[in-house]
A and B are shown apart, each in its own frame.
Chain A
Amino acid sequence: MANVSLEKVGKTYDRHQVISDLSITIRDGECFTFLGPSGCGKTVILRLIAGFEHLTAGEIFIGDRLVSSVEKDVHIPPEARKIGVVFQDYAVWPHKTVYENVVYPLQMQKIPAAEAKKRTMAAVEQVNLGSLENRLPFQLSGGQQQRVALARALVSRPEIMLLDEPLSNLDANLREEMRFEITALQKQTGVTILYVTHDQEVALAISDRIAIMDKMGRVRQVGPPDEIYENPADPFVFKFMGISNFIPLDWRDGRLFVGGSDSPLAYPVPADVLDRIRRHELIAGCRPYDIELTHDDSSPTRGTIRRVIYLGSIIDYRVVLGMQEIRVQQDVRDAGQGGIPFRDGDPVGLNFLNLKWFENRGLNEEVES
C-alpha cells in the first residue's frame, strides 16, 4: 500500500482560504483521522487527496507519485489515483444491484470477467453481505448499504482508502459494529486509511493517529489517541476531546489560590510552572474524573455542590468553585465507598489529582460549530 504526503497544501475558494500551509505525512498502513468541528476543512482535505478538488497551493504525493501540484501544473484525475472512497451518504448506485455496484471498479480496470466475479464475491463475503448480491440498494438497510460502499472501495485493492464520515447516518449500535469492521478490514488488507469525522469517539476508537483541526482549518495537534487525550497541546484540543474544566489561578500572599476566590489550591506545582503562574501566563485544566470530592476538611479547596445528576454508572456533579462552575464525575462504585452521597447545595472539599497547564489565551475559542 502507500503513504500520503501533503506538502504546504492550500485551498482557497473565492478568496476564502479554507486550508493553508498544511504539511503532513500519513504513513503506509496506518489509520489516520482528521477530526474537527463541521466546516473546519477536513472534508476538503479528503477531496484534495482524492482529486475531486484542485489545489491552490502545494503538492500531494501518493506513494512515490506526484498526484497534485500547483507549481508543476499536475493534476491526476481521481480515476487514475488508485483510491477507494466511502462517502457519508454511501453513494451506492440505486439502479445497480449489490454485485453490480461492487464489481464496477474491476470493470473499469478491465479485469477479465471470471476473475472479477471471484474478487467481487470475495469482497461481498468479507463485508458479510453474502447472499444479498442480487439485491437493489432500496431493499437494504443503511448499515448494509454502507457495507456495499466499503466492499466497492476495497475490491480494487486501492493504495489508500478515504472515508468521509461514513458512520454518521447509522444508529449508535450499528456505528460500533461498523467501527470494528473497518478496523478489522484494515488489518486484513493493510490498506492506508484516511478518515474524516467530527465524532471523537469514533476517532479515538479506530485511529493510529489523529489530527485535530479547528474551525479555521489549522491542525492543532497530531498524535496517537492516548497522547492527544492525555497530553493536549492547547486548550482547544483539551476542550474538544471529552469534558474539560479550566481553573484560573491567583498567586497571593505567597500562596496559590483558585482565581477569584479565597480557596487555596493544594497541588504539587513544579517551580517553573509556578513562576509562569505568578506571571499570569498559565491556567489549569482538569478532567472531571481527576477531581476527588470530600465531605471533610482534608482539602483546603472548598466549593459548593450546585447539582447532582445520576447517570447510572456515573454521578455527574456541577460544583461552584470560585467564580465558575466545574464538572466532576465519579464512578458510582467509587462514590459509594466515600460514604454519604452529596446533595444539591452541600459544601464540598476538592482534591485535584492531575492538572494540566495551558497558556492563558485562546480560551474562548469556540469548539463547536
Chain B
Amino acid sequence: MSHVKLQDVTKRFGPVVAVNRLSIEIPQGECFSMLGPSGCGKTTTLRMVAGFEDLDEGEISVGGKIFSSSFKNYYLPPEKRDFGMVFQAFAVWPHLNVFNNVAFPLQIRKMPKAEIEERTRRAITYTGLGGSAETYPNELSSGQKQRIALARAIAINPTVMLLDEPLSNLDPKLREEMRFEIKDLQRKFGFTIIYVTHDQAEAMALSDRILVMSEGEVQQIDTPLNIYHKPANKFVFSFIGLSNFLPVEIADSAVYIEGQHDAGPLNVELPPRTQERRLVLATRPFEIDILREGGVRGTVKRVTYLGDVIDYRVMIGNVEVRIQKNRIKEILREGQPCGLKFNRILWYEHQP
C-alpha cells in the first residue's frame, strides 16, 4: 500500500484550474519532489495535502487513512493530520525560544513533560542546534532558523514531512549543505518527504522521484536520471538543465539545420517512424562536441570562461547553438570556424 496517495485531485480558483486531476502514489520512505515554475500548482498541491486548502475533486489519503475526499465529502483539518512541515520563510515564532518552538507540537499533544523534554532535546541535537535551546530566533542566522523549523517538524516523529521551498531563502553554499542534512534526517528517521521547489538542481540532488508540473498538469513523474535523459516532452527537457532546440530538415536521407544545407549534414540517425520533413532536435550543451574540423560547420560567436566550464555560442547560419565544455579541453576563440558533432539527441515535433 502506498504511503501517500492522491487520486484525481483537482483544485480551481474561480475559472482557473490550478491543479488538474493529479494522481500520485508515494511509497513509504521516498523523497518525492514536485518541481515546476511558479504558478504551476505545486504549492497548491502541497497545501491540499497539508489541509490548508480543500480540494474540489478527488481524494487524498495517507497510510490508508483518508484526509480529504470529495467523493465522501470529508475533510480533516491540518491540525489533525500529524504532518511535519517546513515553510519557505521558516515560520519560526519570534516570541518563543528555540526550545519552546521545537516543543510546541509536543505541548499541544499534551505529552508528559519528561517526554517532551527528551524528544525536544533530541530533535535539537539532530538538527545541529545543540546548545542554542535557550536562544531566541532573532539572534540566529537564517540557516539556524531553518534548522529550528526542521527540528520542530521532526519532534513529533512524523511519518510524512512536507517541505515548501525550504531552502530558497538561504545562500547557495548553505543550500547545498542543508540538502544533505535533510537527506540524512530522512535516512535516520525513515519518513516520507514531499518536497516542493522551483530549483531543478535541488530536485535532482535530493529526490528519489520527481514530478514535473506545468500549469496544473503533470508533465512527467520519474527518477531524476530518467527525467534528465528521457524527458517526456519539450517542457521537461527545457526545464531541467540547459537545452538547445534546433530546427532541422530532412532531405536526401540526411538531417540538416533548417536552411543551412551548406553547413553539411548532422552526424545523427534519421528519426524513426516519421514522415515529417521538419522537426526539432533537442540536445544538451554538454552532449555536443566542438571540433576544429569535421562535423556541421559553424562559427564561434561567443566564448565565455566560467571557471570550471567554457560556454560557447556557435552560429550555424543564423541558428545559435550553445555548447559547454570542461575547461581542460582546448579553447577556441571568437570568430573561429568550427564543427559540431552531436552525441545524444531527442526529437520533437516542429511547431510553427
User: Which A residues form the contact surface with B (CB < 8 A)?
Assistant: 180, 200-201, 204-205, 225-226, 229, 241-243, 287-290, 307, 309-313, 316, 331-333, 368
Cβ < 8 Å to A, chain B residues 300-341? 302, 304-308, 311, 324, 326, 328
Residues of A within 8 A of B242 (CB): 313
Given contacts A200-B307, A289-B308, A331-B286, contact A312 B241 (CB under 8 A): yes
B189 at the interface (CB under 8 A from A): no
In the docked arrangement, what's the CA distance between A290 and B307, Å? 13
In the docked arrangement, what's the CA distance between A287 and B328, Å? 12
Q: Is the CB of A368 within 8 A of B305?
A: no
In the docked arrangement, what's the CA distance between A242 and B241, Å? 19
Residues of B within 8 A of A316 (CB): 205
Q: Is the CB of A241 within 8 A of B307?
A: yes
In the docked arrangement, what's the CA distance between A283 and B63, Å? 53
B169 at the interface (CB under 8 A from A): no
Q: Is the CB of A204 within 8 A of B328?
A: no
Residues of B within 8 A of A288 (CB): 308
In the docked arrangement, what's the CA distance between A101 and B279, Å? 46
Residues of A within 8 A of B304 (CB): 204-205
- In the complex formed, the residue of A with least CB distance to B304 is A205
In the docked arrangement, what's the CA distance between A180 and B334, Å? 14
In the docked arrangement, what's the CA distance between A332 and B311, Å? 17
Q: Is the CB of B286 within 8 A of A332?
A: yes
Q: Could you tell me the dominant secondary structure of chain B's interface residues?
A: mixed
Cβ < 8 Å to A, chain B residues 183-209? 200-201, 204-205
Which of under 10, 10 to 19, 20 to 34, or 35 or more describes the interface residues of B? 20 to 34
Q: Which of A204, A289, A290, A333 contacts B305 (CB 8 A)?
A: A204
Provide the B201-225 mask, 1 if CB < 8 A to any CB of A, else 0: 1001100000000000000000011
- Of A205, A309, A312, A333, chain B has the most CB atoms within 10 Å of the CB of A312
Residues of A within 8 A of B224 (CB): 310, 312
Q: Is the CB of A309 within 8 A of B307?
A: no
Cβ < 8 Å to A, chain B residues 79-98? none
B126 at the interface (CB under 8 A from A): no
A–B complex contacts, Cβ < 8 Å, 27 sampled: A180-B302, A204-B304, A204-B307, A205-B304, A205-B305, A225-B307, A229-B308, A241-B307, A242-B308, A288-B308, A289-B326, A289-B328, A290-B328, A307-B180, A310-B225, A310-B228, A311-B201, A312-B200, A312-B204, A313-B241, A313-B287, A316-B205, A331-B286, A333-B286, A333-B343, A368-B171, A368-B174
Q: Is the CB of B306 within 8 A of A205?
A: yes
B145 at the interface (CB under 8 A from A): no
Please give the distance in Å from B80's CB to the nearest CB on chain A: 36
Please give the distance in Å from A365's CB to the nearest CB on chain B: 14
- In the complex formed, the residue of A with least CB distance to B343 is A333
Q: Is the CB of A287 within 8 A of B308?
A: yes
In the docked arrangement, what's the CA distance between A71 and B312, Å? 49
Residues of B within 8 A of A310 (CB): 204, 224-225, 228
